[in-house]
A = this chain, B = another copy of it.
Amino acid sequence: MHEPREEHIALCKQARDLLFLGARTANSFSDAPVPDEQVRAIYELIKYAPTSMNQQPLRIVLLRTTSARSRLVAQLAPANKGKSEQAPLVALLAADLHFHDTLPEVFPHAPGARDLYANSEVRERSAVFNATLQLGYFILGVRAAGLCAGPIVGYDEDGINRAFFPDGSRRVIAVVNIGLPGAAPWQERLPRLSYEAVVSIA
């Protein structure tokens, strides 16, 4: 079976294609700009997807200036520099290590929630876990906007954290290039693992 069976999936075919079946990671982009308002629309959609205790630790920095873009590119692995130099929008996605300060606002019925994250190691682990979950939502949100995402994790992590978050309040999760596909934006799709290799029954 290579396509989901119709009776088991409620999502319409257009959406299945846009988000999953026809979507691809782009390595080159057209010049068409991605306005802030489109990022806002993506965020207003994906913000509803769940995180543990509604923590929402994901933070997004849109690198709009030449100097911010250069500081980022300097930290990327050589094979990734060209992609982020060329993309119409580069977003730096990070985990807010002080997310617990927002818990009284976003998890108001549990007054002791903030104190559960007093330990910085526990807090960082939860921040990275939930921001990574939100990175998944964000990639699909970019596709929902009709755009291509090009997520990158090949970089000097400490270098990015020092360059962009010198006070230690955030930790980079991924860089995501965003735009419409350019010339020869991808190779043939790589193989996916079979259902049998991934799912087992106990």
Which A positions have Cβ atoms within 8 angstroms of B?
Answer: 1-5, 8-12, 14-16, 18-21, 23, 25, 36-50, 52, 54, 56, 58-65, 68, 92, 102, 105-108, 129, 132-137, 139-140, 144-146, 149, 151, 153, 164, 189-193, 195, 197-202
Contact = CB atoms under 8 A, between A and B. Distances in A.
13 contacts: A10-B18, A11-B18, A11-B144, A11-B145, A14-B15, A44-B195, A52-B153, A59-B199, A62-B199, A64-B202, A107-B190, A129-B153, A133-B133
A83 to B, nearest CB: 14
A199 B45 contact: no
Contacts of A12: 12, 14-15
Contacts of A133: 132-133, 135-136, 139
A194 to B, nearest CB: 9
A196 to B, nearest CB: 9
Nearest to A25: B50
